[in-house]
Amino acid sequence: MKKITTKTIRQQKGQNKITMLTAYDYPMAKIVDTAGCDMILVGDSLGNVVLGYEDTTHVTMEDMLHHSRAVARGTEHALIVTDMPFLSYHTGKYEAVRNAGRLIAEGFANAVKLEGGSEIAETVKAITDAGIPVCGHLGLTPQSVNQLGGFSMQAKTEAAAEKLLADAKCLEDAGAFAVVLECIPRQLARHVTQSLTIPTIGIGAGKECDGQVLVLYDMLGLFSDYVPSFVKKYAELNTDVTSAVKTYIQEVKEEVFPI
Ligand code: KIV
């Protein structure tokens, strides 16, 4: 199988649903890649599901670089998209391009993802002008949790829906190769998908998006603090791992292991 590029992803729009999952380390990246997922997102959700923070605002560039490198070592085919963390692209275009460039050069990412719409369009253009592919992220943008006041469904009013569509077009015009739509009404996600020439990747946004993304530890049933209602659990690893650890403890205590 050949390495997947942003060109491949764009060509899949309307032809073949795009699959994306998060990964944060070498073994999981290797599993996701070998299974044939199109894109691996080194999401800043690692702040919640790996580092144990309450939200993603505490994740640093060094965290993203560290995990992106590990994922890259386990990935042969999938396109690696690494999240730009909170405040790494808000303080000026120069800083944003530099940080995006670090995620490519030092983090071995193939593309970066930024949260926001028209307010970051110039930044997205500057990054794509530097030859770095950008994936947008609209709807529920977890880095703005303190402004949004929680993790609820977004763009529920007509005005908010119109703004989201305008934002999506801004990102497309700025050169983004795809856009993640998180937690927005299904009809709006369908409308945005039909209105753009670039693919939409949905999470809690219905089935009519061009592709889907989930947080790996949610869909594996590994992260148990909270699970968004739109997640489908394809495994119950928390239960399986707990049971394995308990059996190990018991067997060591009872001198069943080692033999
Ligand atoms: O950080 C992340 O995992 C994400 C997905 C929820 C899309 O941005």
Q: Is the pLDDT of residue 150 over 90?
A: no
What CA–CA distance (Å, rounded) separates 57 from 107? 20
Distance between Cα 111 and ligand 1 center (Å): 14
Q: Relative to the CA of 44, which ligand 1 atom is closest?
A: 1
Tokens (6 digits) for 216: 């790996």
- Which is catalytic among the residues 62, 172, 182, 255? 182
Sign of the CA dihedral with 234 first, then 204, 59, and 73 last? positive
Distance between Cα 251 and ligand 1 center (Å): 39
Q: Residue 182 catalytic? A: yes
| Mean pLDDT value of segment 241-255 | 98
Render pLDDT for 44-53 as a digit per residue (tens, 0 to 9): 999 999 999 9
What pLDDT, on the 0 to 100 scale, is given for residue 1? 78
Closest CA to 40 of 12, 65, 64, 19: 19
Least confident among 21-30, 78-87, 147-156, 198-207:
147-156
Q: Is the CB of 203 under 6 A from ligand 1?
A: yes
| Mean pLDDT value of segment 157-163 | 98
pTM: 0.98
Distance between Cα 109 and ligand 1 center (Å): 15
What pLDDT, on the 0 to 100 scale, is given for residue 165? 98
